[in-house]
Amino acid sequence: MFGWEYPPLHLGGLGVACQGLVRGLLGNGVKVTLILPHESETDDAEVRFPTDEFIQKLRVCSMLQPYNTFESFEANIRKVPKNKKDVYGNDLGEAISNYTEMSVKMTEDLNPDVVHCHDWMTYEAGRRSAEHHNVPMVAHIHATELDRTNNAPNEYIYQKERMGFEAADRIIAVSNYTKNVLVEHYGIALEKISVVHNGSADMPPSHELLEFKRTQKKQHPLVLFLGRLVTQKGAVQFLEMASIVHQTKPEVNFVMAGDGHMFEELVDLSCKFGLQDSVIFAGKVGSMEAKQLYTQADCFVMPSISEPFGLVALEAISHGTPVILSRQSGASEVVDDCFQVDFWDTAKMADCVLTILREEPLAHQLRSYAPRILNKLTWQRQASHVQSVYTDLIHC
């Protein structure tokens, strides 16, 4: 399995999903060799795997990071001594080429039944490894370049994705939403794509937490956004919604947790909307801080413009928080007991927030559905669907 991030070193949902899938596969008796890019020999010292005899981890010396663009990689490589640039690569394309070469060489002596690779940076390594071992290749897609760029893709990355999809024997998409993107914008045949929704490692909220949320009285209700501050995640739409809610309930507070290149723009926009005393920009938060925010929030809003899945939705409901989801998301396919709105309809989004804050019986009912959703979407169960894909490929 070729990946590009794994907790605790991760910037987004791909790393969390990779960890959940690996643990689910291990629980089903699948042996996994995980190959990851790492800048040094010590930066992943905290990574722990549950069953050492069933998994080995190989590190490839690389500066590749999640959500790298040519510009962001160039900014990072400027800080590297000249004598190391030949190892890491002078630009993003060269870095991926180096990662591919080292990864394939490092895994030449393995004896896999299948090669599984996550997102575009790993597809060439997966293709070459599968060809070397004469085994099937699975391309797992968590987000496309179209999602990340609001349909204005970098042509190099788009073509790398398309070549990976064409080389794969089977593609796993994290949602039907993503499956449709692959068919419509990449020309991939429907029968080549298997949809396996992401799972959740979180337990459903306890009865005590649900009762606490039902009975607490707050002077300042809290509405939460948690994600990267980029166009894709609907950060601007969240502030537009907040400004509408503020006109009716000025006592409501809004927290935007996450970082990204739009930070300064969003701060200016919040002031333009008159929200300078109502919006808190929390920056990037760790797992414990995120859990506290989910628990404190009266409502969680995921207004993404294009969201292949959206693990934050499952995280929110696991903490007893009602959610409002963009219809343009994979999570909306599995979290059906929630409000769903189009990302652009911020007036409707605001109306949903106000309804949840006003109607406590309805909010409690939405919170109480969490166990049914989370018990159905365990990583153990979702990994069994992936394992079925492996079995079909191996025996066909």
- The pLDDT tens digits for 33-75 are 999 887 544 344 334 444 445 677 777 777 776 677 777 767 7
Highest-confidence range of 42-51, 75-84, 116-125, by mean pLDDT? 116-125
The helix/strand/coil state of 324 is: strand
Q: How many whole angstroms separate alpha carbon 274 and alpha carbon 69?
A: 34
Q: Name which residue leads in pLDDT, 102 or 348.
A: 348
Domains 13-199+378-395 and 207-376 share a fold: yes
* 305, pLDDT greater than 80: yes
pLDDT at 50: 44
Q: Which of 46-60, 117-131, 229-243, 301-315 has the lowest mean pLDDT?
A: 46-60
pLDDT at 71: 75
Q: What share of the chain is helix, strand, coil (3-state, %, to 5)?
A: 50, 15, 35
Give the pair of three-digit tokens for residue 75.
Answer: 């900014």
List pLDDT tens digits, range 341-388.
999 999 999 999 999 999 999 999 999 998 889 999 999 999 999 999
Average pLDDT on 8-16 reads 78
CATH fold, domain 207-376, is: Rossmann fold (3.40.50)
Output the CA torsion 355→200→164→386 (10° steps): -130
Q: Which amino acid is at 263?
A: F
Domain ranges across the chain: 13-199+378-395, 207-376
Q: How many whole angstroms separate alpha carbon 2 and alpha carbon 5?
A: 10
pLDDT at 53: 54
Give the N- to C-terminal CA distance of the chain in Å, as an integer. 21
The pTM of the full predicted model, rounded to 2 decimals, is 0.90
Give the pair of three-digit tokens for residue 48.
Answer: 């722990």
List pLDDT tens digits, range 247-295.
999 999 999 999 999 999 999 999 999 999 999 999 999 889 999 999 9
pLDDT at 48: 44
pLDDT at 58: 78
Concatenated DSSP letters for 57-69? Answer: EEEEE----TT--
Q: Name which residue leads in pLDDT, 81 or 300.
A: 300
Number of alpha carbons in the 13 Å side-chain half-sphere of residue 190: 3
Residue pointed to by tokens 């291990």: 26
The helix/strand/coil state of 243 is: helix
List pLDDT tens digits, range 181-234.
999 999 999 999 999 999 998 888 888 888 888 888 889 999 999 999 999 999
Residue 199 and residue 381 in contact, taking contact as beta carbons nearer than 8 Å? yes
The yes or no reply on domain 13-199+378-395 and CATH 1.20.58.220 is: no
List pLDDT tens digits, range 141-170.
999 999 999 899 999 999 999 999 999 999
pLDDT at 59: 75
pLDDT at 262: 96
pLDDT at 45: 38
89 pLDDT tier (thresholds 50, 70, 90):
low
pLDDT at 96: 86
Number of alpha carbons in the 13 Å side-chain half-sphere of residue 299: 32
pLDDT at 56: 73
